[in-house]
Chains A and B, each alone.
Chain A
Amino acid sequence: MQSDYNTHIKRIVLLLVVAAVLGFLAKKFATPTSFGKYGHYRADAIQDEVDRPLRHMTNESCLSCHPFEWELHEQGRHKTISCEFCHGTYADHVQDGKFAGRLPVKKGEEIKTLCLRCHNKAIKARPKDVIKTVEMPRHLEDQHVQVTHICNQCHHVHAPLIYINHAQKVLGIEEANNGKQ
């Protein structure tokens, strides 16, 4: 004989239904709308990443205000160096097309440290066909200048051989630097 007492079953079924509805609603409201558009992730996150503000620009972005330096830099051997590496980021200098802040100017020993980041011969791992390296202070001794000299006293930082080539031309010294400055 079947019992009439089935309240407990009704309760369990009701509980399961309520849990299923709650679960469904939770999933519906907690899942971001673009989730699953391309895969198991929020598709709008791609746009969020695209909208990240640019802090570095290119060397061309400096041209409009600094044409003299740009031209000098472009014809010299340092043309592959980014302006922003030595000077700081574009975003710290210009915001919305307007001047936003002065970039720090490297002076004295800072310049030497910056030059030796690339040109230090003591670091043997540098490929010789890519970069010309010097040994300090031997380079200064070889050039018969004081060992306290800073690199930019002879080398223009934007076009490192421009002064040297010019001086050699004036003095009539024929030491080929392949015509590059």
Chain B
Amino acid sequence: MESSKFAIDKDRRTFVKNVLKGTIAGSLLLVIPMGGASGSLEVPAQIPGIRGRKYDMFKQRFAFIVNITRCIGCGSCCVADKREYNVPDGYYRTWVERYIKDFDGNVYVDCPNGGLDGYQTPRADIPGKVRDTFFVPKLCNMCKKPSCVQVCPVGATFKTPDGFVLVDKERCVGCGYCIQACPYSVRFLNPVTHTADKCTWCYHRVRKGLLPACVNVCPANARKFGDLNDPESEVTRILASPDVITVLKPELGNMPALYYEGLRREVVYECGP
């Protein structure tokens, strides 16, 4: 009798405890805000191996590959980039150029509004017969030996240990040396912050395991980004394949980490082949 009463008491106790636990847990769920910085990570990772482990800056290596033979010139990347960074009108962190070659060896390049509005109309001012035409997306080359970092007098632009060339907005004095030094013309002086600005390969997204905004929106899979330490990643496979992979202006020795597939000679060299 005594023991059964004790058992009921114990049951009651655990029941009350459980109810309390449930109430507290439930109310906590309501109180703790979902979303924000933690909520943003609810989406599945796009680059495997970044989340859920300590990020070692000295060991990470990334590559960006643009496949010219797949670019359809829709300008999604340019739109995504402008929206992600609120880039002021008239300035472009990434853009898509249209190349037209005729049979006389002339090369015509145009880029209306950086490709932001896409390419809605064909070019009408080409006198000769068109031999070849293609789109070339441009963005920061993330050089392994960046000229912009070398010329910065205040240490505001730098290469991170994981290979990203970034700008420190707090230190930049807006002298514009880096803008002149960049052989790929990817830098500009931001008229809002009055500091140098450029494509960062969406460093803030990459560190959260997400692809750069332009890669994420590319419908034709012309832009590829990935981890070079991951032997299974697409970029590793492409760079290990026998396909011809080029960089822009290799003669300058900047050693870009941005590679192009299917690029024509007219684009690779500054002064023609």
Contacts and interface: CB of A to CB of B under 8 A. Distances in A.
Interface of A: 32, 35, 38-42, 45-46, 48-58, 60-61, 78, 80-82, 84-85, 88-89, 94-98, 113, 116-118, 120, 122-127, 130-131
B156 interface: yes
Contacts of A51: 204
A60 B44 contact: yes
B168 A42 contact: yes
Contacts of A120: 119-120
Contacts of A53: 204
Given A39-B158, A56-B83, A118-B219, A130 B35 contact: no
Main secondary structure of the interface of B (DSSP, over half): loop
Contacts, number: 152
Report the interface size class on chain B: 35 or more
Interface in B168-184: 168-171
Interface string B55-77: 00100000000000111111110
A11 to B, nearest CB: 34
B169 to A, nearest CB: 8
Interface of B: 33-36, 39-40, 42-44, 46, 57, 69-76, 79-80, 83-85, 98-100, 118-122, 130, 133-135, 155-161, 166, 168-171, 200, 203-205, 207-208, 210-211, 213, 216-222
B43 A56 contact: no
Contact of B80 (A50, A56, A78, A127): A56
Contacts of B120: 113, 116-117, 120, 123
B210 A54 contact: yes
Contacts of A130: 70, 72, 220, 222
B75 A49 contact: no
Given A49-B204, A82-B80, 12 more contacts: A38-B160, A49-B203, A54-B204, A58-B46, A58-B211, A60-B43, A80-B218, A85-B219, A118-B219, A126-B73, A130-B72, A130-B220
Nearest to B96: A125
Contact of A124 (B76, B133, B159): B133
Given A48-B168, A54-B210, A131-B72, A123 B119 contact: yes
Among A50, A78, A117, find the residue whose CB has the most chain B CB atoms closer than 10 A.
A117
Nearest to A39: B158
Contact of B39 (A32, A55, A96): A96
Contacts of A49: 166, 200, 203-204
Contacts of A40: 155, 158
A127 B221 contact: no
Nearest to B117: A117
A126 B72 contact: yes
A125 B73 contact: yes
A124 to B, nearest CB: 5
